[in-house]
Each structure stands twice: as C-alpha cells, then as structure tokens.
C-alpha cells in the first residue's frame, strides 16, 4: 500500500515554512489538523475566492483541493487567480498525493483515515 508515501508527503507538508493552506471545507481542515498540520488553513468553499481572508505577500500558499472533478477545476482557478495576484502557488503536495493515491480517495477529508490505515 502507499500509506508510507502519503505519510511522508504529510510530514514534508508539516515542515513547510510560513505556509497558508487552502482547502475546500471544514472537514478538510479537521483532517489536516488530525494529521498534525499546524499551519494556517483557510476554507475557500461557500464564498468568492479570497473573500474574507488576507493573503500576505511572501507567504507560501499551498493549494490542497479535493481530487474529484470539482477539486481539479478549483485547483486550476485558484492557481490562476493567485498567479495574477503575484503569488507563486504551491501545488506540489496536491500533485504528489494525487499521483500516490491514484483515485483511491476523492477528498482531503479522507486523508487522515488513509494515513492511519
């Protein structure tokens, strides 16, 4: 199983400097907290993108949307909007998890269960 690879990606994510992680909803936030991720996590569903929270320049903005069709569309939209705003959005972790998981899970909220076995 790819459990060890998923855990390695999560451990690497936890070591990121000055990170703000963008997720779709509250369950995604809870799953990352359960995995020990202590960075600022912003939920972006249910509002216009970037309404309600500031993105300080120089921050490492990590996009972790779900792996379903909606999440993939949102990832592209977020990446494009962030680039227009002058950020260099980080999609590395999303890409790594998507490759490792190969469709085994559809959402970030499922990560904690997968990583725990």
Whether the per-residue pLDDT at 114 is higher than 80: the answer is no
CATH topology of domain 3-116: Dna Topoisomerase Vi A Subunit; Chain: A, domain 2 (3.40.1360)
Domain ranges of the chain: 3-116
Q: What is the pLDDT of residues 15-66, one digit of tens each?
A: 998 899 999 999 999 999 999 999 999 888 765 666 656 666 667 999 999 9
Tell me the percentage of the chain whose pLDDT exceeds 90.
60
Q: What is the DSSP string of the chain?
A: --HHHHHHHHHHHHT-SSEEEEESSHHHHHHHHHTT--SEEEE-TTS-TTTTS---TT-EEEE---SSHHHHHHHHHHHHHHHHTT---B-HHHHHHHHHHTTS-SSGGGHHHHHH-
């Amino acid at each position: 199983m790819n459990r060890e690879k998923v855990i390695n990606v999560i451990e690497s994510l936890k070591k990121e400097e000055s990170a703000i992680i963008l997720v779709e909803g509250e369950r995604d936030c809870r799953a990352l907290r359960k995995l020990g991720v202590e960075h600022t996590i912003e939920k972006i569903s249910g509002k216009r993108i970037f309404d309600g929270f500031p993105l300080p320049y120089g921050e490492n903005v990590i996009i972790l949307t779900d792996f379903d069709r909606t999440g993939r569309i949102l990832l592209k939209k977020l990446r494009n909007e962030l680039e227009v705003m002058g950020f260099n959005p980080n999609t590395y972790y999303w890409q790594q998890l998507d490759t490792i998981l190969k469709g085994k899970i559809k959402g970030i909220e499922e990560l904690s269960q997968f990583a725990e076995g």
